[in-house]
Chains A and B, each alone.
Chain A
């Protein structure tokens, strides 16, 4: 597989890929799978009825990492993909996903990923997904992920979803169901600038006894950008859940943070914290007193906050 410079840079940015990874991998470029390998523990096969793949991790597979990045460099392309991730019992793996768009034209480029995660009993998954857009064209870079997650008894998933920069429009919808003793930690980190718009809508149903869910969001909105973050925890058993949304607001941006707690069982313990504020003057002064310029201080604070 020969990649041009733009493609190489996008893969590095979203998935830290500089060379062909070992083990299972699926790389999709401009709507076409260009590299697909399975490993003994992780099988990746194309869906027969629609674009996308089924990634099946065999029970007991441990310590493997699989890369499944998507990049778009063809302007005006609208890519839609359906991917299923099935994690077998007692498996423990990492999936590095991500989508990068380079758009230098006046036409919009869009990737919509419909993802389904099924975690079987006592399995463990770490899922990392980075979104990034670049290119000087007036055409928008649009990313709309829709994700459903089913966590069986005793299974654990840690999801880290990051929007690095450059995505003009995104609507993210995530629905999670957690069975008994299952655990979900979802971390969202988001940066918007210019006239960008980002929405994230999370519904986490904690169905089983001893289930636990956490949604942690950190975002920075700069210039005229707008963000809406809505996270609902629905406790349906003897469970615990926590939502935390923390945002830095800058320029003329707008942020709406809506944590929502719904207890459908008297034993559910659900909590939330939400904060929106500008960078504190004393933080800037402190870093400037260590020799940073004001702009360097702002950049350092934002970089740390979104790390």
Chain B
């Protein structure tokens, strides 16, 4: 379905030095499965997602969607082929409403579907459909509106970047139920969730752990969890600053 072959990405810093932030990633994502990507902050998870969406371009390697090399394609072209990326920090738009954005994500969406999509992310349609996606919304509201667009689009490849961030526990459970009910085992859809949330990870068919731009572990949630737990304890000892890279259940 989606294949990343020998993907690397190098970025330059202010001092003119190059740093490889994605290192030789080889991975395939199959249809009908939910994948989790986790790992410490700065490990390359969001960069990998942006490479798939076409927001970043790889320094080397190729990305294939259903056998087609999409590496040279633009963001719009990849979106039209069926990839969507739910941003970790979605931008705000003065003057565009929630309804506008969902209509862009899913042109011609009927009113019933539109309203149920908002309910799926824990938002009351009456209160939100005509709200500006502007500065008046909280981070948590923005996040849920972002997820609503992703759910409405039902893309063949959905990448959700920390859908739990800033969202209340009740909504996280609701989102998990929607992902399990609608995406998991859907033979048409592939779902990739970047997450630090154990409950999210446990609904995944497979979990990939990224660190220093590399894929360091891969397996079922049960297989991976001990590795992540060790990492957490290790990181906490290293940091000793209260900066917790993982959310612990």
Contact = CB atoms under 8 A, between A and B. Distances in A.
B109 to A, nearest CB: 12
A40 interface: no
A289 B91 contact: no
A285 B55 contact: yes
B85 to A, nearest CB: 5
Given A285-B55, A285-B75, A290 B104 contact: yes
A290 B94 contact: no
A304 interface: yes
B100 to A, nearest CB: 6
A221 to B, nearest CB: 16
B95 interface: yes
Nearest to B74: A288
B53 interface: yes
B149 A290 contact: yes
Nearest to B90: A286
Nearest to B103: A290
A286 B88 CA distance: 11
Interface in B46-71: 53, 55
Nearest to A306: B95
Interface string A282-303: 1101111111111000001101
A288 B94 contact: no
Interface-centre pick from B53, B55, B75 (highest chain A CB count, 10 A): B75
A292 to B, nearest CB: 6
B224 interface: no
Interface string A196-211: 0000000000000000
Contacts of B194: none
Contacts of A286: 87, 90-91
Contacts of A306: 95
Interface string B74-111: 11100110001101001101111100110011000000
Contacts, number: 58
A303 B103 CA distance: 15
B33 interface: no
A304 B94 contact: yes
Interface-centre pick from A280, A288, A292, A307 (highest chain B CB count, 10 A): A288
A160 interface: no
A304 B131 CA distance: 12
A304 B149 contact: no
B27 to A, nearest CB: 21
Interface string A54-96: 0000000000000000000000000000000000000000000
A246 interface: yes
A156 B90 CA distance: 38
A291 B94 contact: no
Contact of A291 (B79, B93, B97, B100): B79
A292 B106 CA distance: 11
Interface string A266-292: 000000000000001011011111111
A246 B134 CA distance: 13
B76 A301 contact: no
B97 to A, nearest CB: 8
A215 to B, nearest CB: 17
A246 B53 CA distance: 31
Contacts of A290: 79, 84, 101, 104-105, 149, 153
Interface string B119-152: 0000000000000000000000000000001000
Contacts of B96: 300-301, 304
Contact of B94 (A246, A282, A293, A294): A246
A218 B105 CA distance: 26
A304 B93 contact: yes
5 contacts: A283-B93, A288-B76, A289-B87, A291-B105, A305-B94
Interface of B: 53, 55, 74-76, 79-80, 84-85, 87, 90-91, 93-97, 100-101, 104-105, 149, 153
Interface of A: 218, 246, 280, 282-283, 285-294, 300-301, 303-307
Given A282-B91, A286-B90, 4 more contacts: A286-B91, A289-B84, A290-B79, A290-B84
Please name the 5 residue pairs, one residue from A and one from B, whose CB atoms are nearest each other, closest first.
A304-B95, A304-B96, A291-B79, A288-B75, A282-B91
